[in-house]
Structure 1
Amino acid sequence: MAIKENLQEIKNTFINPDCLLVAVSKTKPKEDLQEAYEAGIRDFGENKVQELVDKQPQLPSDIRWHMIGHLQRNKVKYIAPFVHLIHGVDSFKLLKEINKQAKKAERTIPCLLQVHIAEEDSKFGFDETELLQLIESGELKTLEHVEIKGLMGMATFTENEEQIRREFSGLKSLFDKLKTLPLPANMKMEELSMGMSGDYLIAQEEGSTMVRIGSAIFGARG
């Protein structure tokens, strides 16, 4: 099935039509991205900086590029001039580096704070206590070139839908809790990025505003 048909099929299943679909195009050739672009997709997610940097100049300039993978501090400078949203910010050190490189690029970079919700050690992110401490410390106010738009989380890789739902529900509760707090001016709880090809419907039921879908659009990765 072609990419256009896959996209239409996915969109038809969306519970929340306002939920943003980020097409995860990692390892896929630019021709596949162009096909998705022609089918109306403008938001593409990559998990490796090198791939993002390689693809960006070869594709239409109105694409919004999302960095969805684990981002190393020494790689931030390569994407700072153009990245639309960094999903996986998992430490204050990384935020400081993003702020530094955004200042050099004379722009403000939107970010999501990654929260560790999975029962897997392999996933990155803040826990609730660390997040609350970061907010209360006042350190976020010092980052004038970073705008925190919300939270991101990845559920455990499991067939157990109850567990996935529990993890997403917990993240939504934290998201709602943060909304009630006095947040710094550069932090807003607007976006909740959760859900991928296998669990995006559960994520939408639990309040996701943004899903990251790859294999269901582009087919399995070789």
Structure 2
Amino acid sequence: MAVNFNNYRQVLQQLEPYKAKLVAVSKTKPVEDIRDLYAEGQRIFGENYVQELVDKAGQLPQDVQWHFIGHLQSNKVKYIAPFVGMIHGVDSLKLLAEISKQALKHHRVIDCLLQVHIATEETKFGLSETELFQLLEQAGSLAGVRIAGLMGMASNTDDETQVRREFAGLKTLHNAVKEKYFPGDEFFKELSTGMSGDYKIALEEGSTLVRIGSLLFGARNYA
């Protein structure tokens, strides 16, 4: 399936009043589809797999802003550290320290979002609120990373009230973290919540980055 440009333009219209940004999730999709959206002006693309991201980055313009949005293993950081724009799912001090180490090797500072577990499913990754504050207490010496905000994935449910409650709770936590650790910091401003099925609720609850794939590129074929 080719890019759905009508959906793309509708999503941009939805984002405009909130001044939020679109991360076009291009995982498993061909380079040609990314080029098509690039030609429309889209610059931020999200990938879940390190090797796929490295391969695509080598074939596309250098002004693409690549966001890694999957679960990142520490031993894979070195492959994306030279060019990745933002890493969304940082859920441990060990991973944050490795990102900092690899970034400094390339004289870079990489923007990172700390992933908080807000869903009911135990299978989803993320820090508890206690773990988040523990990490923040220990992360100040890492010169190769910039903590730019928080990220979360809502429960996979049709209960919009629950989804809204989870997004709202993360926004409240974001505000608390900013007040305690980043007062006056212009960089700690991002809240990455919302995907194809729930991004409108996420926007209403403070999201600044929505991660949308299937609405733009169609369903994925993992075969």
Contact 2:18/2:203 (CA < 8 Å) preserved in 1? no
Please state whether the residue corresponding to 1:171 is helix, strand or coil. helix
Whichever residue aligns with residue 13 of structure 2, its letter is: N
Q: Name structure 2 gaps, 5 residues minimum.
A: none
Whichever residue aligns with residue 108 of structure 1, its letter is: V
Q: Following TM superposition, by how much is the alpha carbon of 1:106 offset from its aligned partner in structure 2, in angstroms?
A: 1.4
Q: Which residue number corresponds to residue 172 of structure 2?
A: 173
Instruction: Supply the distance in 1 between the matched residues of 2:178 and 2:87 (Cα, whole angstroms).
Output: 20
Q: Following TM superposition, by how much is the alpha carbon of 1:90 offset from its aligned partner in structure 2, in angstroms?
A: 0.4
Q: Which residue number corresponds to residue 158 of structure 1?
A: 157
Q: Which residue number corresponds to residue 146 of structure 2?
A: 147
Q: Which residue number corresponds to residue 88 of structure 2?
A: 87
The correspondence of residues 6-17 of structure 1 with structure 2, limited to 5 A, is 6-14=7-15, 16-17=17-18
Over residues 147-169 of structure 1, what are the superposed CA-to-partner deviations in whole Å (9 max), with x where a residue is unaligned? 00000000011111111001000
The correspondence of residues 67-106 of structure 1 with structure 2, limited to 5 A, is 67-106=68-107
Please state whether the residue corresponding to 2:77 is helix, strand or coil. helix
Whichever residue aligns with residue 68 of structure 1, its letter is: I
Please state whether the residue corresponding to 1:148 is helix, strand or coil. strand
Q: Which residue number corresponds to residue 107 of structure 1?
A: 108
Q: Following TM superposition, by how much is the alpha carbon of 1:142 offset from its aligned partner in structure 2, in angstroms?
A: 1.4
Q: Which residue number corresponds to residue 192 of structure 2?
A: 193
Q: Following TM superposition, by how much is the alpha carbon of 1:183 offset from its aligned partner in structure 2, in angstroms?
A: 3.9
Q: Which residue number corresponds to residue 27 of structure 1?
A: 28
Q: Following TM superposition, by how much is the alpha carbon of 1:190 offset from its aligned partner in structure 2, in angstroms?
A: 0.7
Please state whether the residue corresponding to 2:115 is helix, strand or coil. strand
Contact 1:76/1:101 (CA < 8 Å) preserved in 2? yes
Q: Following TM superposition, by how much is the alpha carbon of 1:40 offset from its aligned partner in structure 2, in angstroms?
A: 1.1
Q: Following TM superposition, by how much is the alpha carbon of 1:188 offset from its aligned partner in structure 2, in angstroms?
A: 4.7
Instruction: Supply the distance in 1 between the matched residues of 2:34 and 2:196 (Cα, whole angstroms).
Output: 17
Over residues 172-218 of structure 1, what are the superposed CA-to-partner deviations in whole Å (9 max), with x where a residue is unaligned? 00001112114499995310000000000000000000100000001
Kindly tell me the number of residue pairs found equivalent between the two proteins: 220
Please state whether the residue corresponding to 1:202 is helix, strand or coil. helix
Whichever residue aligns with residue 176 of structure 2, its letter is: K
Contact 2:92/2:135 (CA < 8 Å) preserved in 1? no
Over residues 60-102 of structure 1, what are the superposed CA-to-partner deviations in whole Å (9 max), with x where a residue is unaligned? 1110000000000010000000000000000000001101111
Contact 2:4/2:215 (CA < 8 Å) preserved in 1? no
Whichever residue aligns with residue 9 of structure 1, its letter is: Q
Q: Name structure 1 gaps, 5 residues minimum.
A: none
Over residues 29-88 of structure 1, what are the superposed CA-to-partner deviations in whole Å (9 max), with x where a residue is unaligned? 000000010111000000000110000010111100000000000100000000000000
Instruction: Supply the distance in 2 between the matched residues of 1:54 and 1:145 (Cα, whole angstroms).
Output: 24
TM-score normalised to structure 2 length = 0.94
CA gap of 1:114–1:126, structure 2 versus 1, over 3 A, is same
CA RMSD of the aligned region, Å? 1.8
TM-score normalised to structure 1 length = 0.94
Please state whether the residue corresponding to 1:156 is helix, strand or coil. coil
Contact 2:111/2:148 (CA < 8 Å) preserved in 1? yes
Instruction: Supply the distance in 2 between the matched residues of 1:157 and 1:172 (Cα, whole angstroms).
Output: 19
